[in-house]
Homo-oligomer: A and B are copies of this chain.
Amino acid sequence: MSEMTIKELARICGVAVSTVSRAMNDRSDVNPQTRTRIRAAAEKYGYVPNASARRLKIGSTDTIAVFIQGEFGQLLIEVLQHLEVAFADAGYDVTLSHVADTQNDHAGLVERIVREGKFGGVVFLGRYGSADREASAQLSRRLGEIDVPMVFCTTPDYSGSAAQHSSISVDDHAGARDLTAHLISRGHRRIAFVGAGEEPDREHAWALRLAGYRAALQDAGVPFDESLVVASVVEGQVYTMRNGYESTQRWLQSGRAGATAFFAVCDTAAIGAGRALIEAGLSVPADVSLVGFDGLDVADYYNPRLTTIVQPVSEIAQSTARVLLATMREPARAIEQVWVRGRLVEGASVAAPPAS
């Protein structure tokens, strides 16, 4: 079944191609009857306008591109689903590109797709850029030169002091501070932080959460102990169960014990850490407390239920859509950095430290 063109449909309907075009695009300047007749014929013969030709003429499209780079977990999926709804409500399609971190020159690839694509707007979801801070900032600047509205979602703009783009994130710092304060209020003083990355990159979620943890310690007058920071051992996969597990395991094996609570960088890492604790013969929360971050389903169904910070994914997605759509309407619009406050939800994974 070969594809039908506007020309053939025009001939069938006995009208000009311009009339078909108008009918298909719901222009007001078509006779309603003509419009109905043409659309019926389109339906009958399975005519679908060629999107490439349309795009070539129009120059831009009703499509929002969402880029996810590297790690791609449940949290991003949930945000993505809310983004789809929010943009659909505004009449936009959403297309997703996942670019593997391992892909050669992934930064160049992203840039190429954005330039080629003629998208109405672009969302960068999750982290982007490379581990190299300067390279990331450079990518951000290069993206800024492309004439397409874009926002960063669940990640701040890494371009440094002079932000190039709007961004919407959970308030990692405040959430981590709340969570740590919660542990302190239960009597904990020796709290390990699981999943610190290695790059000196202040804007990563783990770094912001680590900073919030330190702020809470300071608030309470608890001295910060470097030896309680559990470094990530699985490269490029900070936010995974495997990293939570292997990092905690290595830390425990190196004899650095003495923590009464573990704050993992995210829920999945917490579950991994939980396995390492169990294998070390420790019971949660009787022997040690454990908290995560993100508020995924898995935190709620894990045994024991995980105390965590729930990210307001729907709100994050809606803000993202709002800011991007506003930027599309008004490209000169000011950059906006939105930080959405997460909500502490208590599970059953925190208890007072054992009397010992």
Contacts and interface: CB of A to CB of B under 8 A. Distances in A.
B74 A103 contact: no
Contact of A74 (B74, B84, B272, B303): B74
B48 A52 contact: no
A336 interface: no
A24 to B, nearest CB: 12
Interface string A235-270: 000001110010000000000000000000000100
Nearest to A147: B1
Interface string A293-333: 00001101111010000000000000000000000000000
Nearest to A4: B115
A183 interface: no
Given A81-B98, A98-B81, A245 B117 contact: no
Nearest to A116: B51
Contact of A1 (B81, B88, B145): B145
B297 A275 contact: no
A70 to B, nearest CB: 10
A141 to B, nearest CB: 12
Interface in A79-103: 80-81, 84-85, 88, 93-98, 100, 103
Nearest to A99: B84
Q: Is the interface of A mostly helix, strand, loop or mixed?
A: helix
29 contacts: A2-B147, A3-B115, A46-B145, A48-B112, A50-B118, A51-B52, A52-B52, A52-B53, A52-B55, A52-B56, A52-B118, A72-B77, A74-B74, A80-B98, A81-B98, A81-B100, A84-B98, A84-B100, A94-B97, A95-B95, A96-B97, A96-B98, A241-B297, A241-B300, A241-B301, A242-B297, A271-B298, A275-B301, A278-B303
Given A51-B118, A268-B297, 11 more contacts: A3-B147, A48-B116, A52-B53, A80-B98, A81-B100, A88-B103, A94-B97, A241-B298, A274-B301, A298-B298, A303-B303
Interface of A: 1-3, 46, 48-53, 55-56, 72-74, 77, 80-81, 84-85, 88, 93-98, 100, 103, 112-113, 115-118, 145-147, 240-242, 245, 268, 271-272, 274-275, 278, 297-298, 300-303, 305
